[in-house]
Homo-oligomer: A and B are copies of this chain.
Amino acid sequence: MNTKHRLKQAFLPATFLAKTGIGRTIVDLKKQQTIFAQGDASDSVFYIQKGRVKLTVISKAGKEATIALLGVGNFLGEDCIAAVQPLRMATAVAITAASVLRIERKEMVRVLHNEKLFSEVFVTYLLTRNARIQEDLVDHLFNSSEKRLARTLLLLAQFGKEGAPETVIPKMSQETLAEMIGTTRSRVSFFMNRFRKLGFIEYNGKLSVHSSLLNVVLHD
């Protein structure tokens, strides 16, 4: 394998995102560990290789909102690339043990600039993420908190992979669910029990979501 070929290999996205190097280090995280906090200086991008990460924002009034749950293959803190905002706009916390690749801003810019394949993957990622956030926004514009909860549960059920008709959802407190859909915990508790009575979900230790929960979202 000649040098040129090795160089090219090194920059296939999958390869790049799995290897350390100049400006790239792997960071292992314990459950509950903070990756960065709202207000921190923002000079690196992360790529999730293992585990799950929660993105939250805290308002002036001190309320906390969860704006995204990210998993394997997602980027994190990518806003810093555009360098408009040199501060983290949200807090990122690992909600399971996790492993992330930390890429310094300069390195990220360099690679984006020099490697077509990587750049392509990243653009696709941004477009997908964009679409998802936009859907969340539309959800808020149209739906009641009951429907938003139903939608969130359905999305979480698909979170890992292609869905079996009933899927188990990772442990998640009602408090967090409330933060995600923008309501209060008591409301979440109320609706969860409603869904349970109607047979849309089940739980004792694990939470499983039936496809029948779709009725809540789809019905006028």
Interface residues, chain A, with chain B CB atoms under 8 Å away:
57, 59-61, 63, 65, 67, 78-79, 81-82, 84-85, 89, 112-113, 116, 119-120, 122-124, 126-131, 133-134, 136-138, 140-142, 179, 182, 218, 220
Closest partner residue, chain B, to A130 (CB atom): B130
Question: A148 → chain B, closest Cβ, in Å?
Answer: 10
User: Which of B65, B116, B128, B220 contacts A84, CB < 8 Å?
Assistant: B128
Nearest 4 A-B pairs (CB), nearest first? A65-B141, A141-B182, A82-B127, A126-B126
With most chain B CB atoms within 10 A of its CB, the pick from A60, A81, A126, A179 is: A126
User: Across the interface, do B60 and A220 meet the contact criterion of CB distance under 8 Å?
Assistant: yes
User: Complex: how many Å from CA A65 to CA B139?
Assistant: 10
Could you say which residues of chain B place their CB within 8 Å of the CB of A119? 112, 119, 123
Please name the residue on chain B nearest to A137 by beta carbon: B137
Q: A129 to chain B: which residues have CB within 8 Å?
A: 130
* Interface pair B128/A123, CB less than 8 Å apart: no
- Chain B residue, CB-CB nearest to A63: B142
Q: How far, in angstroms, from A137 to B63 measured CA to CA in the complex?
A: 14
Shortest distance between the CB of A78 and any CB in chain B (Å) = 7
Known: A128-B82, A140-B140. A123 touches B112 (CB 8 A): yes
| Seed contacts A60-B220, A140-B140; 4 additional CB < 8 Å A-B pairs | A63-B142, A67-B138, A67-B141, A129-B130
Contact A182 B82, beta carbon cutoff 8 Å = no
Which one of B130, B138, B179, B218 contacts A79 once the chains associate, using CB atoms below 8 Å? B130
Are A61 and B220 in contact, CB atoms less than 8 angstroms apart? yes
**B residues near A130, Cβ cutoff 8 Å:** 79, 126, 129-130, 133
Interface centre among A65, A79, A134 (most CB of B within 10 A): A134
Contact sample, A vs B, 5 pairs, CB 8 Å cutoff: A65-B138, A79-B130, A119-B123, A126-B130, A136-B137
Chain B's closest residue to A59 (CB) is B142
Are B220 and A82 within 8 A (Cβ)? no
A67 and B123 alpha carbons, distance in the complex (Å): 22
